[in-house]
Homo-oligomer: A and B are copies of this chain.
Amino acid sequence: MKNKNRDKHKRIINAATKIFAQKGFFQAKVADIAKEAQVADGTIYLYFENKDDILISLFEEQMNRVLEDMKTQVLKEEDAVKKIEKFAFNHLKLVELNKNVAEIIQVELRQSSKFMKEYKNEKFHEYLNLIGDIIKEGQKEGIFKEGIIPGIAKRAFFGALDEMSRFWVLSSRKKYDIETAAKQISDYFLTGLVNNSHQT
């Protein structure tokens, strides 16, 4: 019984993930999701309050998974530099493995402040703070410059990765492979664009 419930809930979430990614929240019809999940339209409402609730639940659940994944991976690394590199690689990897989820989070999450005023996206902040914590740790260890403001740096780093993923998500084929992109981006942040050996 519990299993079947779980199963249907999951089927709906998965269907919604696919449909929302395909069409976007507003253009996705509840009927589309039901069809994809192979349940009746009404069944959706046994598991979710309304259309908004599907999106919110989807966020929560997927973000939970992503968060766990990332935490585990990052903790494996010892120093802050490695952690940053790992984060970059992992983020892009996760995006590749969950294109639909990524697309929704990228595209629809941004609207959250519009259509779900009360919904505070805590999971997202947790995710951002993983970066913030690495930076603070790096500063404590003297590896990262003192002047860096973690609240800005975490966003900058996330934004860089995010824009890269968007590029992938929205274009059909990848121009650069994950390893390259991750290495490039973490390198920019770690050592900068400027050529140190160059003398002006």
Contact = CB atoms under 8 A, between A and B. Distances in A.
Given A24-B114, A144-B194, A156 B163 contact: yes
Given A114-B23, A143-B198, A160-B155, A138 B106 contact: no
A-B pairs, top 5 by smallest CB distance, nearest first, are A159-B163, A192-B192, A156-B160, A26-B26, A191-B192
A113 B170 contact: yes
Interface of A: 23-24, 26-27, 81, 84, 106-107, 110-111, 113-115, 135, 138, 142-149, 151-153, 155-164, 166-167, 170, 175-176, 180-181, 184-185, 187-196, 198, 200
Contacts of A115: 24, 27
A193 B144 contact: yes
Given A155-B167, A156-B160, 10 more contacts: A84-B193, A107-B111, A144-B195, A145-B194, A153-B188, A162-B163, A188-B189, A189-B189, A189-B193, A192-B192
Contacts of A200: 143
If over half of A's interface residues share one DSSP class (helix, strand or loop), that class is named, otherwise mixed; here it is: helix
Contacts of A189: 188-189, 192-193
6 contacts: A142-B195, A152-B185, A155-B164, A156-B185, A158-B163, A187-B192
